[in-house]
């Protein structure tokens, strides 16, 4: 076998480029490439396997194996040596393939004649595209040099695949980024949207993976790395006095930007004929593959830092990638791996939909998307690699489904769905100012949940009669620093102004569990949902709560004020929090500030324990609000963030409804106003059942007010209650079937 020295590698790449430059169709190019590689590496066989679909690899071209098996031989990912390379993204190098672990005999290829096997992944930015293999009769292990050379070639093939070089008549491949793709993810915010892809971080396209002049490429790489280092140093300088965690990230960046190993590998790639950008991408691809495999959270973080740095470097080298200056397309649908709440807020309401490759239902981005009522699909696998800026896309937030580049039938069906949504919206708008009174004359108070300034216009638009839950922590979560008291005062003032006298219930800071403030020292708890959160933090470290209470009092400036404390598990916690508030009021009085004309202080009932608090508790609080999301998770011991269990128990389970009824009774004894502010209040069927159990105030996302009110206007709560009661007596597990039957008959 010829020595695969750097100059040999370079020669091969130059020949590859010549082969690619011809007018050949895709298949002919691929055939030529396998021939060239086998020739240059001195092996009898060279084959390219590419993915047909997510699971299946197909032999697309070969030099040395039976030609009849091209496009016939297929294997599943993980199957055989080729499948193993694809599955693990790792090189397989063995002198005795037939006896190697995982070998699968494929008689149609005639490969049993070949003893040694070297397979490397063809991957681009962590996306596995296929496998490149060389085989020879002679039993020997390929040298590290040969492995390296083949990896470099695989990199070029990956770039060419991305550029569509193997597409055409008799094509080895169907074109990338052109076919319709259906992706099933998870629903994090309902709604349907049609529009065009806007990549939060656009893909960088490398059009010149092969370079003639290594010295020049090295110079380009060094120049770009220098620019990168200067940039990181500048960021460090700016953040010197700021947030500690951000500083740590930047220090890690700097470490990588100065990392000798990283630089050395890229220099070697260049010496073997890759362009500077292809070298960066090759290392980035390998880091991404590692990232998907390591378990250790710290290591993953570091690999993700490296990924980020590589992105920056690619942008410097190609001048592409940053969206700066580019205009959002019409009806933009944002696509990202993940996005922080701050970035999302910057896009604001300009977005029609959001699709995240990772993300989670309970993430802060999801909270923001919900507040903005933008359909959001999370866990959309491969969306960032499949989608290109401007692609036509349809997002079904109800089902958690994304149609990328949809075909005509899908477009038709989807537009019908959007039209139905729009019609429904019109119907809801027509009842915006109608009070929610059921057919048996029960009046339900419809209020909304809020937390962002972006929510405020909904106070007028949705027909909400007030704000039943203002989640104050959102303002803390979307910042990099603890907000100042004066900022909070201004903010709460704006909320009260926007409400024009409608009641607003401010909930004090509810942090901990999944809501982690970026600027507070993280607490390492075995089970954060049951840990140091909400009122527990507020009472143990009262500084922030005091500041917040003071801000609320000043914002009210003599107007009525309602405050509630989250996650109260026992009477004493409420009393202690109320005592803090009383002290703050006293201080404000001494300082000469105006006090609220009316003050209501409530507690959120989010743990079953509080439902059994002494009656005196119910006497003392001004009101109670059931935080159904948390209450349900603790009632059924089923994590609200865990996709596996979160839908396992029905809100309309008879046990849960009986429990709600119990709370209603206890409040009734003391005459304590009761509301329900979990997500279930915004689901029409659940909402009417809650009303039937005696809840008279429902607080929900603004977008839910129309659908819930529309159903309330049509039901008879007395009848519904009887149906629920009958179902309980029959021993049904959940009342849903009986309720649905009643609702269908309306």
Tell me the C-alpha distance between 229 and 250, whole Å.
Answer: 11
Q: Does 707 bind ligand PEP (CB under 6 A)?
A: no
Binding test (CB under 6 A) with ligand PEP, winner from 331, 442, 493, 629: 629
Measured CA to CA in angstroms, residue 572 lies from 114, 577, 593 at distances of 78, 9, 29
- Rounded least distance, CB 569 to ligand PEP, Å: 13
Residues 101-160 that bind Mg ion (CB under 5 A): none
Name the residue with tokens 């063995």.
94
- Rounded least distance, CB 625 to ligand PEP, Å: 8
Instruction: With contacts defined by CB under 6 A, name the span among 24-32, 44-52, 153-161, 628-636 that binds ligand PEP.
Output: 628-636
If we measure between CA atoms, which residue out of 136, 171, 174, 131 comes closest to residue 154? 131
Q: What is the helix (H) or strand (E) element at residue 377, kind and residue range? A: strand 376-378
Q: Does 630 bind ligand PEP (CB under 6 A)?
A: yes
- The residue among 19 and 467 lying less far from Mg ion, judged by its C-beta, is 467
Binding test (CB under 5 A) with Mg ion, winner from 630, 661, 686, 716: 630
Helix axes 6-21, 260-271, angle to 10 degrees: 60
372 contacts 393 by C-beta, under 8 angstroms: no
Name the residue with tokens 């590692």.
290
- Rounded least distance, CB 367 to Mg ion, Å: 12
* Active-site residue identified among 60, 667, 677, 689: 677
- Rounded least distance, CB 637 to ligand PEP, Å: 15
If phi over 0 gives left and psi between -120 and 50 gives alpha, with beta otherwise, what is residue 14? alpha
Tell me the C-alpha distance between 82 and 71, whole Å.
Answer: 15
Residues 255-294 that bind ligand PEP (CB under 6 A): none
Tell me the C-alpha distance between 41 and 191, whole Å.
Answer: 55
For residue 164, how many other CB atoms are within 10 A of its CB? 16
Binding test (CB under 6 A) with ligand PEP, winner from 209, 359, 627, 702: 627
Instruction: Specify the DSSP class assigned to residue 522.
Output: P
Tell me the C-alpha distance between 247 and 475, whole Å.
Answer: 22
Q: Is 677 a catalytic residue?
A: yes
- The residue among 257 and 509 lying less far from ligand PEP, judged by its C-beta, is 509
Name the residue with tokens 């494929």.
106
Q: Does 509 bind ligand PEP (CB under 6 A)?
A: no
Binding test (CB under 6 A) with ligand PEP, winner from 628, 702, 706, 707: 628
The full DSSP string for 52-67 is SSSSEEEEEEEESS-G
- Rounded least distance, CB 190 to ligand PEP, Å: 16
Binding test (CB under 6 A) with ligand PEP, winner from 283, 510, 580, 716: 510
If we measure between CA atoms, which residue out of 61, 59, 179, 46 comes closest to residue 117? 46
- Rounded least distance, CB 653 to ligand PEP, Å: 17
CA angle 390, 396, 399 (to 5 degrees): 150
Q: Which of the choices ligand PEP, Mg ion, none does residue 628 contact, using the CB cut-off of 5 to 8 A by kind?
A: ligand PEP
How many residues bind Mg ion, per CB under 5 A? Answer: 3
- Rounded least distance, CB 514 to ligand PEP, Å: 9
Name the residue with tokens 């362009």.
275
Residues 334-363 that bind ligand PEP (CB under 6 A): none
Instruction: With contacts defined by CB under 6 A, name the span among 49-57, 330-338, 595-603, 623-631 that binds ligand PEP.
Output: 623-631
Q: Which two tokens stand for residue 691?
A: 């009303």
Q: What are phi and psi of 336, to 5 degrees?
A: -155, 160
- The residue among 15 and 364 lying less far from ligand PEP, judged by its C-beta, is 364
Extract the runs of DSSP E, i.e. beta strands, from 379-464. Answer: 392-396, 401-404, 436-437, 443-450
Dihedral over alpha carbons 137, 141, 143, 149 (to 10 degrees): 60
Q: What are phi and psi of 599, to 5 degrees?
A: -125, 125
Q: Which of the choices ligand PEP, Mg ion, none does residue 561 contact, using the CB cut-off of 5 to 8 A by kind?
A: none
| Interface characters, 661-690, with ligand PEP (x: CB under 6 A) | ----------------xx------------
Instruction: With contacts defined by CB under 5 A, name the span among 36-44, 133-141, 308-316, 605-613 that binds Mg ion.
Output: 605-613
Instruction: With contacts defined by CB under 5 A, name the span among 112-120, 350-358, 481-489, 622-630 that binds Mg ion.
Output: 622-630
- Rounded least distance, CB 566 to ligand PEP, Å: 7
Q: Which two tokens stand for residue 741?
A: 């039957």
- Rounded least distance, CB 490 to ligand PEP, Å: 23
Tell me the C-alpha distance between 506 and 470, whole Å.
Answer: 5
Residues 595-614 that bind ligand PEP (CB under 6 A): 606
Q: Is 729 a catalytic residue?
A: no
Q: Does 471 bind ligand PEP (CB under 6 A)?
A: yes
135 contacts 114 by C-beta, under 8 angstroms: yes
Name the residue with tokens 């695969």.
4
Contacts of 4 (CB under 8 A, 6+ apart): 40, 41, 143, 145, 146, 148, 149
How many residues bind ligand PEP, per CB under 6 A? Answer: 10
- Rounded least distance, CB 390 to ligand PEP, Å: 36
- The residue among 31 and 606 lying less far from Mg ion, judged by its C-beta, is 606
Instruction: With contacts defined by CB under 6 A, name the span among 237-245, 353-361, 624-632, 701-709 that binds ligand PEP.
Output: 624-632
Q: Does 627 bind Mg ion (CB under 5 A)?
A: yes
* Active-site residue identified among 364, 379, 403, 667: 364
Dihedral over alpha carbons 722, 725, 726, 728 (to 10 degrees): 160
- The residue among 321 and 512 lying less far from ligand PEP, judged by its C-beta, is 512
Tell me the C-alpha distance between 41 and 393, whole Å.
Answer: 44
- The residue among 33 and 511 lying less far from Mg ion, judged by its C-beta, is 511
Binding positions for Mg ion, rule: CB under 5 A: 606, 627, 630
What are the catalytic residues? 364, 677
Instruction: Provide the binding-site residues for ligand PEP, judged by CB under 6 A.
Output: 469, 471, 510, 606, 627-630, 677-678
């Amino acid at each position: 076998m010829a020595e695969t020295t750097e100059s040999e590698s370079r020669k091969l790449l130059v020949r590859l480029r010549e082969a690619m430059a011809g007018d050949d169709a895709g298949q002919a190019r691929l055939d030529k490439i396998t021939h060239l590689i086998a020739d240059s590496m001195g092996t009898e066989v060279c084959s390219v396997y590419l993915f047909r679909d997510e699971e299946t690899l197909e032999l697309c071209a070969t030099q040395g194996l039976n030609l009849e098996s091209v496009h016939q031989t297929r294997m599943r990912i993980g199957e055989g040596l080729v499948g193993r390379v694809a599955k693990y993204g790792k090189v397989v190098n063995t002198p005795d393939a037939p006896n190697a672990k995982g070998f699968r005999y494929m008689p149609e290829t005639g490969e049993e004649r070949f003893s040694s096997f070297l397979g490397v992944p063809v991957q681009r930015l962590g996306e596995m595209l296929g496998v490149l293999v060389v085989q020879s009769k002679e039993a020997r292990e390929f040298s590290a040099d040969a492995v390296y050379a083949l990896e470099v070639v695989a990199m070029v093939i990956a770039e060419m695949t991305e550029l569509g070089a193997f597409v055409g008549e008799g094509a080895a491949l169907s074109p990338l980024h052109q076919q319709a793709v259906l992706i099933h993810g998870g629903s994090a915010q309902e709604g349907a949207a049609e529009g065009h892809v806007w990549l939060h971080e656009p893909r960088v396209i490398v059009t010149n993976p092969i370079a003639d002049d290594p010295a020049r490429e090295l110079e380009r790489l060094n120049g770009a790395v220098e620019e990168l280092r200067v940039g990181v140093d500048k960021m460090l300088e700016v953040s010197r006095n700021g947030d500690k965690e951000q500083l740590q990230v930047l220090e890690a960046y700097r470490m990588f930007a100065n990392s000798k190993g990283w630089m050395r590998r890229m220099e070697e790639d260049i010496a073997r004929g890759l362009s500077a950008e292809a070298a960066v991408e090759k290392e980035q691809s390998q880091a991404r593959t590692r990232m998907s495999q390591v378990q250790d959270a710290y290591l993953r973080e570091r690999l993700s830092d490296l990924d980020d740095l590589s992105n920056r470097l690619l942008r410097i080298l190609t001048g592409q990638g940053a969206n700066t200056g580019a205009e959002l397309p019409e009806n933009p649908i944002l696509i990202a791996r993940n996005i922080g709440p701050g970035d999302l807020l910057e896009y604001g309401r300009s977005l029609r939909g959001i699709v995240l490759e990772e993300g989670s239902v309970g993430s802060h981005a999801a909270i923001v998307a919900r507040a903005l009522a933008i359909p959001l699909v999370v866990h959309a696998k491969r969306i960032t690699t499949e989608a290109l800026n401007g692609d036509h896309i349809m997002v079904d937030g109800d089902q958690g489904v994304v149609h990328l580049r949809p075909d005509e039938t899908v477009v038709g069906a989807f537009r019908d769905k959007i039209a139905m949504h729009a019609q429904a919206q019109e119907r809801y708008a027509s009842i915006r100012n109608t009070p929610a009174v059921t057919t048996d004359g029960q009046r339900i108070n419809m209020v909304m949940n809020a937390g962002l300034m972006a929510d405020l216009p909904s106070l007028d638009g949705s027909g909400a009669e007030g704000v039943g839950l203002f989640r104050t922590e959102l303002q803390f979560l979307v910042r990099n620093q603890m907000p100042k008291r004066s900022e909070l005062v201004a903010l709460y003032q704006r909320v009260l102004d926007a409400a024009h006298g409608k009641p607003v219930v401010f909930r004090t800071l509810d942090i901990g569990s999944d809501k982690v403030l970026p600027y507070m020292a993280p607490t390492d708890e075995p089970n954060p949902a049951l840990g140091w959160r909400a009122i527990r933090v507020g009472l143990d470290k009262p500084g922030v709560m005091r500041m917040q209470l003071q801000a609320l009092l000043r914002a009210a400036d003599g107007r009525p004020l309602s405050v509630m404390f989250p996650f109260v598990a026992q009477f004493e916690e409420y009393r202690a929090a109320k005592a803090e508030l009383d002290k703050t009021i006293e201080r404000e009085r001494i300082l000469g500030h105006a006090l609220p004309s009316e003050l209501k202080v409530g507690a959120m009932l989010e743990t079953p324990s509080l439902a059994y608090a002494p009656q005196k508790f119910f006497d003392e609080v001004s009101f109670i609000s059931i935080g159904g999301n948390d209450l349900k998770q603790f009632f059924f011991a089923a994590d609200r963030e865990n996709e596996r269990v979160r839908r396992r128990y029905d809100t309309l389970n008879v046990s849960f409804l009986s429990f709600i009824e119990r709370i209603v009774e206890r409040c009734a004894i003391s005459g304590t106003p009761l509301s329900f502010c979990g997500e279930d209040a915004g689901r029409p069927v659940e909402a009417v059942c809650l009303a039937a159990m005696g809840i008279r105030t429902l607080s929900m996302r603004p977008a839910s007010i129309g659908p819930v009110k529309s159903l309330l206007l049509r039901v008879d709560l007395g009848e519904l209650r009887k149906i629920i009661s009958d179902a309980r007596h029959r021993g049904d597990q959940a009342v849903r079937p009986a309720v649905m039957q009643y609702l269908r008959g309306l």
